Structure 1
Amino acid sequence: MRRLFFAVDPPDAARRDLDRALGPLRDLPGAPRWGRPERWHLTLLFLGAVPEPLVLGLVATAAPAVAATPPIALRLAGGGRFGSLRRPQVAWAGLEGDVDPLVALAGRLAAVARTLGLPVEDRPFRPHLTLGRWRPGRPADGTLTDRLAGYRGPEWPVREIRLWESRLGAAPAYTVVASWPLGAKDPLHAESGPTP
């Protein structure tokens, strides 16, 4: 079984800009456990455990779903939380720009996964970038992300969608399984990464 997810990776400049904006919040009381900027992804679909025999089919059937996506541009903007103010769970940054085509792509990727018999959460896709998580039972300030309300990062063109594998452990590792350029003329074209 492989833990897989589809994602858009913000470019380094966008990550650095958001990381600077988070600087004043990082060490405040009640802050979440912040994620490392180099691991920030805009997850389009988390699949959890995918049986090895289905991985090649997933890569092949995702290609046309990605190719149907027009060129899009995004920017990280604003912030929020999942969970209540008193018991926040996830701190996130929002998105602006061509969000509707991104939502449509996430829907097509979910449909691809369902055709392969993979379980997909039955809830609307809410585009966001997870910044950190609050630990249960620890002091938490759910208002911290409100301070990102006026944040607007640099806009960037989305050039590709990636299928990542996540390996849990003391030091979680991420490996690119495949990637597809947006709007590829050859919808079967996918760049495969290492698949140990």
Structure 2
Amino acid sequence: MGGPGALAPHPAVPRGGAAGGAARADRRRRRGGRRHAPAALRLAGAGRFGSVRRPQVFWAGLDGDVDAVTALAGRLAAGARGLGLPVEDRPFRPHLTLGRWHPRRPADGDLPARLAGYRGPEWPLREVTLVRSTAGRHEVLASFTTRTPSAPP
């Protein structure tokens, strides 16, 4: 497996789109994140994208207030569609990408099963960062603070 991936839970960010709508899209992304209730999350279990024989992505699942994160991802996708931007057509799975397996090297596709019972400590979601991932490169599109009652003033 290669080095760690982007260590942030992330919804699929729409790819492409017209340059003229960038400022409007940025305003919608920021508004969408601020309207959601604060969330408390924890890492729980693990999984992979790809088969056992040819795994691609190793991830840790999220537990806790995942409904808030899922709702945020849905609002972001709806906002992007409203702007005419393409959105991936697959179910959102809240997760933390831990790494990627190199496609032409031996891989341990059973690794996620060994972490199936893991439950980490809970932490408050204090910031949301939207990241576009393209061919292993990550670009921060927007970042904003959430309103959490446990966050220090």
Could you tell me how far apart the structure 1 residues matched to 2:143 and 2:138 are? 17
Identity %: 54
> Deviation digits for residues 22-66 of structure 1, max 9, x if unmatched?
xxxxxxxxxx21315xx4111112223344322211111123322
Larger RCO (CA under 8 A, 6+ residues apart): 2
Task: Name 1:69's counterpart in structure 2.
Answer: 36
Task: Name 1:25's counterpart in structure 2.
Answer: none
1:136 Cα deviation from its structure 2 partner: 2.0
Q: 1:181 aligns with which of 120, 137, 145?
A: 145
- List aligned pairs for 1:43-192, cutoff 5 A: 43-164=10-131, 172=137, 174=139, 176-183=140-147
Task: Name 1:7's counterpart in structure 2.
Answer: none
Unaligned stretches of 5+ residues in structure 2: 149-153
Structure with more strand by fraction: 1
Give the match's secondary structure for 2:26. helix
Give the structure-1-normalised TM-score: 0.66
| Counterpart contact for 2:21–2:83, Cα < 8 Å | yes
Could you tell me how far apart the structure 1 residues matched to 2:145 and 2:21 are? 22
Q: 1:135 to 1:151 in 2, by over 3 A?
A: same
Could you tell me how far apart the structure 2 residues matched to 1:151 and 1:34 are? 21
Give the structure-2-normalised TM-score: 0.83
Matched, 1:35 2:4: yes
> What is the root-mean-square deviation of aligned Cα atoms in Å?
2.3
Could you tell me how far apart the structure 2 residues matched to 1:179 and 1:138 are? 35
1:173 Cα deviation from its structure 2 partner: 6.1
| Counterpart contact for 2:30–2:142, Cα < 8 Å | no
1:74 Cα deviation from its structure 2 partner: 0.4
> Could you tell me which amino acid in structure 2 is paired with residue 159 of structure 1?
R
| Counterpart contact for 2:14–2:87, Cα < 8 Å | yes
Could you tell me how far apart the structure 1 residues matched to 2:37 and 2:128 are? 12
| Counterpart contact for 1:66–1:183, Cα < 8 Å | no
Aligned residues: 148
Could you tell me how far apart the structure 2 residues matched to 1:85 and 1:177 are? 33
Q: 1:178 to 1:134 in 2, by over 3 A?
A: closer
Q: 1:60 to 1:49 in 2, by over 3 A?
A: same
Q: 1:122 to 1:144 in 2, by over 3 A?
A: same
Unaligned stretches of 5+ residues in structure 1: 1-31, 185-196
